Amino acid sequence: MVKLFIHSFGYRFHYRFKPGFGIFAFLDKAAELGFSGVNVSAFPPNFYTLNGAEPGHVRAIRNRVEANKLLIDIECNGTAPAHLTSMLDLAGRLGAGYLRTYVKPDVAETRQRIDDAVRDLSAIGPVAERAGIPLLLENHEDFTGPEMAEILRRVGHPFIAALYDYGNSMVFMEEPLTTLEHMRPWIRSAHMKDHVTIPVGAAGNSEPIWLGVPLGEGFIPVVEATRRLVAAGVDRICYENCWAYAAKYLGSRSDGTMGAGAFAYSRPPYDPAICVPNMPYQPPPGAPTIEEFVREHGLDAVALEAEANRRSIQWLKTEYAKAGIELAHELNAAA
């Protein structure tokens, strides 16, 4: 039976544009929708969608999580042992089951990134074990499945495991099921999402774009990936609404074929309820801000994000039932 979580990233426009929406509103919404738990981004120094890490605030969050009968996992980035030791302490104070991280792009060369990750994770494994909180390394647009497997095999610690993201390794032209098969022995949780491929020139782009869309509107084999995760014993999967999030092509290092399979093309015209190809995420200085883009294109980002979530949750409820994937709690897309 799958404990389905929901990710705070899927409400990033609510956090940004809806007055009063923050961590407590997100926790209440997760409970209303019928999810078993939440994944919350908690990047220092401001701790992002956790909205802070002061002791009183952390206690209040834990109280609301427990009042809503939810589970919680938190997420950070980087592998520096001192940083992860601090984040494991925060995870413990929140009552989190897992702490997810990924490798920061501080080093350009992949081999050096792998070796650095092995060094750092080997050092933090005993700390995670003492805390009783497994640390999960995610394939976060940085490694292919075989590279993730190499890191985890070399670390070889029971408290260092993996979070599988259904779509992230597509930036290296790796089919999602290929990534899963390589990572499978170490997977403890997952980020479930859906993508389409925007071909070169379709939205003024000089390279392919992988664009987040509501579940069922893209080409990632979401149901089959979930079946395989469940068969591998994974019982904790996080739905991550990635509507309007774009990832760039980072080179061909695996088995995907552009325009086919999970890489099938989505062509214009684009309905903003499904595809927004050029929404900025972290715009560089001088580039249009998210606020400017939304205003220029007349988008109600909060309403569109809410609709993307509603459609995705209804799709999940319907398609998982058809596939015989049993959820710990019944979803309520209308909440």
What domains does the chain contain, in order, with CATH numbers? 3-323 (3.20.20.150)
Q: CA 332 to CA 30: how far, in whole Å? A: 10
Q: What is the pTM of this model?
A: 0.97
- Alpha helix segments (H runs only) across the chain: 12-17, 23-33, 55-67, 81-94, 110-131, 145-155, 176-183, 222-231, 290-296, 301-323
* The pLDDT value given to residue 234: 98
Q: What is the pLDDT of residues 171-207, one digit of tens each?
A: 999 999 999 999 999 999 999 999 999 999 999 999 9
Model pLDDT, residue 107? 76
Distance (Å) of CA 194 to CA 210, 212, 241: 10, 6, 8
What pLDDT digit, counting tens, does each position of 61-105 carry?
999 999 999 999 999 999 999 999 999 999 999 999 999 999 988
Q: Please tell me the distance from the alpha carbon of residue 217 to that of residue 220, in angstroms, as a whole number.
A: 9
Q: Give the tens place of pLDDT for each residue, 130-176.
A: 999 999 999 999 999 999 999 999 999 999 999 999 999 999 999 99
Q: Which of 280, 264, 13, 250 is nearest to 139 (CA)?
A: 250
What tokens were used for 252? Answer: 């061909």
State the Cα–Cα distance between residues 329 and 1, nearest whole angstrom: 9
Average pLDDT over residues 244-271: 96
Residue 282's pLDDT band, with cuts at 50, 70 and 90, is confident
